[in-house]
Amino acid sequence: MRVSKLFALLGPGIVWAATSIGVSHIVQATRAGADFGFALLGFILLAHVTKYPFFLFGPKYAALTGNSLLDGYKNIGQWAFYLFLLLTFITMFFIQSGVTIVTAALAMNLFGDVLSLSQWAALILTIVCAVLIIGHYRALSTLLKWMMFLLAVLSVIAWFAAVHRLGFTPSGKAPVISLTSAASIAFIVALIGWMPTSIEISVWHSIWTTLRIDKPGHEAAKNAATDFNIGYCVSFILAVIFLWLGALLMFGQGQGFAQSAADFAGQLVGLYSLALGDWSWLLMAIVTFLALFSTTFAVSDGFPRVWKRARRLISRQNNAIADAKANKTYLITLIILAVGSWWIIRFFTADIKALLDFVTTVSFVSAPLYAWLNYKVITGADVPDDQKPRGWFKLYTLLCLLMLTLFSLFFLGWRFL
């Protein structure tokens, strides 16, 4: 496939990648490398492997049927449809505020403290809302495609620079670490929870896919899978790069990340310049800001699109009036989400880790539910038999579902029993 054709094919998969390559990579993966060296690399691989089929089912189902996973949940039963909406409502303000507060902190670090953290957050959310209202999905897809390309290139440059100057492994004396301590288990849960991102994002991906395809079918499903696989590979590679950078620059150095968002951002970018030279400060300031800014864009669009589609499914109408009401729902949700998230940010600026660990842990615990729902949808009657999981892939999918369930049960038992 020619490069130009491949680049034109990219769309929802890159938007999905923008959603994942943010907090989970810049914050959690870098923290993993800084605190544990390469010890948690296997968990990053495990998270990508076990979640892969359930993320894939989103764009595949949408491309095959022309419907989103939310439609599929409603076909399973009203309970599945409304349970998803309930969980979405409970978490959406915390997730949006979690990614926005980091973006605001990185903006303050890059552009200066001419504004307070909450003011930067307000400005970022205003810009995001304006772009989404004026440009809709097409503007989002085009913008994120180039942002992801620039992010990937700059991240690889930073990795090469770090390895060239510091070697492949940390030079400091490795501290004694325990993966079975309470703090370690809690962090591993938070790491896996959003690595590469939470499974419910597959619903957003399916909605984005329906906006892209013209004719549902096997060919559309093949293209959607290719688009997704490219985004998924980019996600994994960048997760490894940021863990590697965290390990090279901080592991065994006797320092950890600060609690506040502003201090965290300055420390994150500052450690690169200390280790690689002053020239790298601007590079890494741009890289980290781009990663979180793109995530804020994708998340800001994802939640309102869920409620927009839910409004259409609840109304059961397909006419101009229904379209107008659905568009109004998107606009209202977008504004409410931005305002509510900004309000939360004002009360969590002092402890960014607590906020991020909370939302990632919720994603970890709920992962088996979303995975099972996605499996039920892809094996439903509206999916052709030759496109359903079969043979070794079906066995692999069920094994992944079992592992996610055991992970969740282990954590709940460890945490509450």
Q: Which residues contact 94 (CB under 8 A, 6 or more apart)?
A: 344, 355, 358, 359, 362
Cis peptide before 196 (omega within 30 of 0): yes
Phi-psi region of 256 (alpha: psi -120 to 50; beta: other; left: phi over 0): beta
CA torsion, ordered 308, 134, 106, 196, to nearest 10 deg: 40
- Name the residue type at position 380: G
Model confidence pTM above 0.85: yes
pLDDT digits (tens, 9 = 90+) for 21-43: 877 888 888 888 888 889 999 99
- What pLDDT is stored for residue 287 in this prediction? 80
Section 225-233 average pLDDT: 90
Q: Which two tokens stand for residue 259?
A: 């609690």
Average pLDDT across the chain, whole number: 85
Q: Strand, helix or coil at 271?
A: helix
Structural contact between residues 243 and 41, judged by C-beta atoms closer than 8 angstroms: yes
pLDDT in tens, 82-125: 999 998 998 899 889 888 988 998 898 888 888 888 899 999 99
Q: In degrees, to the nearest 5, what angle opens at C-alpha 23 toward C-alphas 21 and 28?
A: 105
**65, 313 Cβ separation under 8 angstroms:** no
pLDDT computed for residue 375 by the predictor? 97
Q: What is the DSSP string of 227-246?
A: HHHHHHHHHHHHHHHHHHHH
Mind listing the pLDDT tens digit for each residue in 283-325?
888 888 888 888 898 899 999 999 999 999 988 777 677 778 8
What mean pLDDT do residues 162-177 have?
75
Q: What is the CA radius of gyration of the chain?
A: 21
Report whether 123 contacts 267 (CB < 8 A).
Answer: no
For residues 145 and 55, what is the distance between their CA atoms, to the nearest angstrom? 19
Q: For the chain, what are the domain ranges?
A: 3-416
Q: What gap in Å lies between CA 165 and CA 154, rounded to an integer? A: 17
- Distance between CA atoms of residues 133 and 142, nearest Å: 15
Distance between CA 409 and CA 406 in Å, rounded? 5
Tell me which amino acid residue 217 is: G
CATH 1.20.1740.10 fits 3-416, yes or no: yes
Residue 158: enclosing H or E segment and its boundaries?
Answer: helix 117-166
Burial 237-263 (b: 16+ CB within 10 A, else e): ebbbbbbbbbbbbbbebeeebbebbbb
